[in-house]
Amino acid sequence: MFRNREIRQFTVLFAGISIIAAAAGFIIRPVAGILILLFAAAQGAVFFVFTKARYRSLAQLASQIDLVLHNDDHLYITELDEGELSILQSEITKMTLRIREQNDALKKEKNHLADSLADIAHQLRTPLTSANLILTLLENDPKDNERKDLLRETEELYIQMDWLITSLLKLSRLDAGIVVLKKEQVNVKQLINAALHPFLISIELHNVRVESDVPEGIEITGDFGWLTEAVQNILKNCLESAGDNGSIIIGCEDTLLFTKITIHDSGKGIEKEDLPHLFDRFYRGKNSGTTGNGIGLALCKMIITRQGGRITVNNHPQGGAVFSVRFSK
């Protein structure tokens, strides 16, 4: 306790004042001097006892903090009755718990990052392996028709890898919070038309019937470009599910409370065990096919939720899947 400078200074000052007071008391009357010395000794003893107890409590706090800093899982700080020390103890406990929560979150994030990197490597390895196999076949000098087919297939593989890498970059930008999403009035009909535009050739080639029943003048608040990206990912999934000669029905419901966009395909629907995980990153359901990679719908959900929306998916009673995007007003 006496290693603290303020305690030493107080002791010297208190002893000096007591000696001066006792000397003055002896000059007046010996009994007065004795009483002053006894009172000073009693007061010093009381101060010493209480100060020692206070410093013992501080030492306990320091010991517990040291244990936490050395990654001890046990956190126990004795409850204190003293006002200021009790407040200090409470604040240290809250700070320690907060640090522990942050450490746990960082560990989970680290594990998630490791899993994500493994998934990314797997997603890229599949088309790269196929592309290398095609290059090997091309070295054997196949016929012109076979060569054209192999080159076309290679081009599709590299387009797939380019889309995958682009989507992963978009996900990472959204995760990092460096994307500033605009808050503007978005016309829903224009949004659907813009999202459908890249698929018009594919729709015609596969003879997919698309019905869009979106009234004029309906608007939602959000970022037109990113919302277009989200709807495109839904349409891409629906087109793959509908297949040749299938159909996609797009509707819109506008009420005083919300605006809801629905996209219904004529595919086989979604397995019940896949429904809760369909928007999970890198999740591939039973009906995802060889082209599924679990990126598009995860990106779609992140874009919509970051703009205050909500996306769900269910199986339609008449068959196929129904995606619902809802924005509150």
Per-residue confidence (pLDDT) for residue 85, from 0 to 100: 66
Q: What is the CATH number of the domain that holds 254?
A: 3.30.565.10
- Same domain membership, residue 155 and residue 23: no
How far, in Å, are 119, 180, 249, 277 from residue 283 at the CA level? 10, 27, 25, 7
- Same domain membership, residue 135 and residue 252: no
Q: Give 274 or 59, the one with higher predicted confidence.
A: 274
Domain boundary among 176, 198, 215: 176
Per-residue confidence (pLDDT) for residue 5, from 0 to 100: 77
Domain assignment of residue 228, yes or no: yes
**Would you say the pTM of this structure is higher than 0.75?**
no
pLDDT tens profile 59-98? 777 777 777 677 665 555 555 565 676 777 777 777 777 8
Model confidence at 172: pLDDT above 50? yes
- Same domain membership, residue 194 and residue 141: no
Model confidence at 292: pLDDT above 70? no
| CA diameter of the chain | 128
Give the rounded distance of the alpha carbon of 12 from its chain centre: 58
- Same domain membership, residue 311 and residue 227: yes
Q: What is the dihedral of CA 143, 147, 148, 151, to 10 degrees?
A: 180
Domain assignment of residue 99, yes or no: no
Of the candidates 252, 241, 244, 309, the one whose C-alpha atom is nearest the C-alpha of residue 278 is 241
Domain assignment of residue 132, yes or no: yes
Per-residue confidence (pLDDT) for residue 119, from 0 to 100: 67
Is 280 in contact with 296 (CB distance < 8 Å)? no
- How many structural domains does the chain have? 3
- Same domain membership, residue 235 and residue 136: no
Domain assignment of residue 89, yes or no: no
Burial (CB < 10 A; 0-12, 13-18, 19+), residue 267, is: buried
Domain boundary among 136, 157, 176: 176
pLDDT band at 290 (very low <50, low <70, confident <90, very high): very low
Q: Give 73 or 51, the one with higher predicted confidence.
A: 51
- Same domain membership, residue 312 and residue 207: yes
What three-state secondary structure class fits 106?
A: helix
- CA 67 – CA 63 distance, rounded (Å): 6
- Same domain membership, residue 152 and residue 189: no
β partners of residue 263: 250, 323
Per-residue confidence (pLDDT) for residue 101, from 0 to 100: 83
What average pLDDT does the segment 220-230 reach?
94
- Same domain membership, residue 222 and residue 163: no
Domain assignment of residue 205, yes or no: yes
Per-residue confidence (pLDDT) for residue 72, from 0 to 100: 62
Per-residue confidence (pLDDT) for residue 323, from 0 to 100: 96
Domain assignment of residue 108, yes or no: no
- Same domain membership, residue 305 and residue 206: yes
- Same domain membership, residue 171 and residue 51: no
User: Domain of 195?
Assistant: 184-328
Q: Among the ranges 6-10, 143-147, 160-164, 237-241, which has the highest mean pLDDT value?
A: 237-241
pLDDT tens profile 1-36? 666 777 778 788 888 888 888 888 888 888 887 888
pLDDT tens profile 312-329? 999 998 889 999 999 998
Domain assignment of residue 109, yes or no: no
- Same domain membership, residue 324 and residue 188: yes
- Same domain membership, residue 324 and residue 306: yes
Domain assignment of residue 230, yes or no: yes
Mean pLDDT of the chain: 82
